Amino acid sequence: MRETRIVGTLSEILKEQWQWRKQILSLGLFDLKKTSAGAVLGPLWFFAKPAVYILVFWFALGVGLKSADQTGSDVPYILWLVGGLIPWFYMQDMLGTGINVFSRYSYLVTKIKFPLAGIPTIYGISNFIIQIGLVIALLVIHFICGQPLDLYLLQLPVAMVLMFVFFDMFSLMTSLLSAISKDFMNLMKTLSTPLFWLSGIIFNVFNLGIPAIELILMFNPITFIVTMYRCAVYDKMWIWEKPEAVVGFIIVFAITLMATLVIYRRTHEEVADVL
């Protein structure tokens, strides 16, 4: 009986997403335009911050700490670094504003009968468009570094879709909980920085030499996405050649999906009253 209710909730969410797809896309594009409105450089600001971050980390790690000497590869270290930082920029936003999107779009919750499940998708779309631009920049760096056009690059769009779907789902779950409890929202914001340093974005999780910690990190979806990006542009291997990473992501994805559906079914009617 419980399984039937969960399946029914999933069906309801997917149906609403499809029926409101045009409005969701339009609002996502509008949100992007609104963010850049009034700026002389406009959309270029979306890429200025990531560029500065990449240059700072490259100088600190590649030049200052000589991390490039630890990769054991002739491929420039900058490609390895951007392979981890570029997906992080998307995930960082989803772990920041994305965990409380109902407050950002409160008018959709309180004044318009807009499906709650579609609101995280609006924010996800606006960030995903920026991510597409950053991935194009990643490919430019990839070719400048002398890397070939090969089949491994097909993993990039797959990784992007998986990242979008997982964090759209994660944003829905955490936004519901954040609307009910401000303590949960503060907890998630506190965890954002530790997740950056502990997710293999600026170090290779497979070279730690501590099997227990490496196994734990395989259940971190951020680690999986970053690994898949690097498999495509740097390591030149297929993600399934690291089965522990794939299995870990599948388990976490399934658990997150179940938790999201249960939380949505129990709390979605209360969100408007709380806000």
Number of domains in the chain: 1
Q: Which pLDDT does position 193 carry in this prediction?
A: 84
Q: What is the DSSP letter of 231?
A: I
Pinpoint the alpha helices (H) of 96-154: 101-104, 106-110, 119-144
Percentages (nearest 5) of helix, strand, coil residues in the chain: 80, 0, 20
Domain that residue 165 falls in: 2-274
How far does Cα 157 stand from its chain's mean position? 13
Q: Which pLDDT does position 67 carry in this prediction?
A: 66
pTM (whole model) above 0.75: yes
**Exposure letters 2-14 (e unless 16+ CB within 10 A, then b):** eeeebeebbebbe
User: In tens digits, what is the pLDDT along the chain, a chain of 275 residues?
Assistant: 566 777 888 898 999 899 998 999 999 998 888 776 655 566 777 788 888 989 998 888 877 766 665 555 678 889 999 999 999 999 999 998 889 898 888 888 888 778 889 999 999 999 999 999 999 999 999 999 989 899 999 999 999 999 999 999 999 999 999 888 887 888 888 888 888 888 889 888 888 888 888 888 899 999 999 999 999 999 999 999 999 999 999 999 999 999 999 999 888 777 766 66
